[in-house]
Amino acid sequence: MYQSLGPRGDSPISIIGAGIAGAWNALLLAQAGHPVTVHERSDTAMRQSTSHWAGGMLAPWCEAETSEPVISRLGIRSLDLWRRHFPETPMNGSLVVAHARDRSDFERFARRTTGHRRLDARALGELEPSLEGRFRDGLFYADEGHVEPRRVLPQLHARIAAAGSTIQFNSEAKADDLEGTVIDCRGRAARDTQPSLRGVKGEMIVVETDEVELSRPVRLIHPRWPLYVIPRGDGRFMLGATSIEAQDSGVSVRSALELLGAAYAVHPAFAEARIVEFGSGLRPAFPDNLPRIAIDKEKIAVNGLYRHGFLLAPALAELVLGYVERGVIDNEVMQCA
Ligand SMILES: Cc1cc2nc3c(=O)[nH]c(=O)nc-3n(C[C@H](O)[C@H](O)[C@H](O)COP(=O)(O)OP(=O)(O)OC[C@H]3O[C@@H](n4cnc5c(N)ncnc54)[C@H](O)[C@@H]3O)c2cc1C
């Protein structure tokens, strides 16, 4: 146990960054009665944040295929927090499918993950009629969910304001200029104080078609990346996401071909879909690809959310709240100077 920073409402708390990490920290602290000010250098459109480009899948069981157990532990806790704070969040599961040539990778995915049940072709078609006759079988992760980042971020920002706190957009801040407790949620921009942070580029495409209807994310097993199609409503679908060690933004022709190919493989009607947007974001990652809450007296840095920002942000914010109010430390995620 470390000493807590003081009772609620005692001293001001500043949060730098209103991406998914900063927004959840602000929400839980504000709702617990702390006076919070959030500084965000972007305008309300949040195009400078990685969170703007994300898929928003809340998939702790699927992610266990390539992640450490701590991701599932925090992710499952986050699902509860999403449910409690945003009861309208679609929690209708996710599907994993594969083509015949990727059969062995599909079976490996099934072996390395839990929380799924196998659906035969008929059951798959009943769950997602657009996929009828397309795949021999699939894995259904019934308890997973997904959010639409560009809808949920403004909702989080509105809730923070409703809880009596302030968000200042177009406000570039430096931790040293701020008084009281400072929570640094700058994502990849925090490399000045956390030099081991790197960006892992994720490219995405949004397409539009009336010919396909999906109710949940569909992952297509792929030898290099987990490619997926996420329904966004109003006939729009996000196709994601590559994972490339690169610092530039932009989308390469090769990646676009792979993402569009994956969509076409899920349903040939995607060939006639209209392309609405190409984009990419740099996921903030430490060398071990695990999240970290670094504590140095009144400075707390929440970073390294990598490909799990939406999955982990609520649970990480809950840990920060526990530290601020009661001095509780989670040894797996928190490091004290
Ligand atoms: C294509 C793609 C798909 C993804 N899909 C998923 C997914 O399905 N599920 C999932 O859980 N995760 C997903 N991710 C990962 C997720 O997007 C990231 O983990 C998450 O966005 C990181 O959030 P963050 O708040 O740490 O950083 P950011 O979202 O980058 O937020 C940091 C904020 O700090 C602001 N800032 C920086 N410096 C300053 C300063 N000095 N003053 C004020 N403000 C500052 C920035 O403008 C930014 O808004 C995906 C990522 C990509 C790129």
Domain positions in the chain are 13-55+148-195+287-336, 94-142+198-285
Kindly report the pTM of this predicted structure. 0.96
Rounded mean pLDDT of 100-115? 94
Ligand 1 pocket, residue 160 CB under 6 Å: no
User: Which residue, chain included where needed, has tokens 């060398």?
Assistant: 287
What pLDDT does residue 226 have? 79
pLDDT in tens, 159-207: 999 999 999 999 999 999 999 999 999 999 999 999 999 999 999 999 9
Predicted pLDDT of residue 11: 83
Sort strands 181-184 and 166-168 into parallel, antiparallel or unpaired. Answer: unpaired
Q: Is there a contact between 169 and 44 (Cβ–Cβ < 8 Å)?
A: yes
Are 128 and 230 contacting, i.e. CB atoms less than 8 angstroms apart? no
Q: How far is the CA of 283 from the centre of ligand 1 (A)?
A: 7
Residue 173: CB within 6 Å of ligand 1? yes
CATH of segment(s) 94-142+198-285: 3.30.9.10
The mean per-residue pLDDT over the stretch 53-72 comes to 97
State residue 1's pLDDT score: 43
How many angstroms is it from 52 CA to the middle of ligand 1? 7
Question: What is the model's pLDDT at position 10?
Answer: 66
Please list, in sequence order, all residues whose beta carbon lies within 8 angstroms of the beta carbon of residue 312, skipping any fewer than 6 positions away. Answer: 71, 74, 75, 78, 291, 305
Ligand 1 centroid vs 44 CA: distance in angstroms? Answer: 14
- Among residues 13, 17, 18, 20, the alpha carbon closest in space to that of 305 is found at 20
Please name which of 92, 96, 107, 99 lies closest in space to residue 62, comparing C-alpha atoms.
96
- Kindly state the DSSP code that residue 4 receives in the 8-state scheme: P
Does the beta carbon of 289 lie inside 6 Å of ligand 1?
no
pLDDT number for residue 249: 85
The domain covering 13-55+148-195+287-336 belongs, at the CATH homologous superfamily level, to FAD/NAD(P)-binding domain (3.50.50.60)
User: Looking at ligand 1, which residue's alpha carbon is closest to its atom 51?
Assistant: 54
Ligand 1 atom at minimal distance to the Cα of residue 306: 19
List the structure tokens of 141.
């992760």
d(CA 322, CA 316): 10
Distance CA 267, CA 101 (A): 17
State how far the Cα of 150 lies from the Cα of 239, in Å rounded to an integer. 15
CB atoms closer than 10 angstroms to residue 13: 25
Instruction: Tell me which of 27, 40, 46, 51 to substitute to probe ligand 1's pocket, judged by most ligand atoms within 8 Å of the beta carbon.
Output: 51
| Burial category of 83 from C-beta neighbours within 10 Å (exposed 0-12, middle 13-18, buried 19 and up) | middle
Q: For 111-145, how does the pLDDT look when each residue is reduced to its tens digit (9 = 90+)? A: 999 999 999 999 999 999 999 999 999 999 999 99
Q: How far apart are CA 144 and CA 222, in angstroms?
A: 20
Asked if the model's pLDDT at residue 9 lies above 80, the reply is no
Which residues lie across from 96 on neighbouring strands?
139, 219
Separation of 51 CA from ligand 1 center, angstroms? 4
| Ligand 1 neighbourhood includes 93 CB (under 6 angstroms) | no
Structure tokens that stand for 270 in this block: 């995607």
For residue 36, is pLDDT > 50? yes
Q: Is 305 in the pocket of ligand 1 (CB under 6 A)?
A: yes
> Residue 155: its pLDDT value, please?
98
Q: What angle do CA 77, 180, 311 make, to 5 degrees?
A: 20
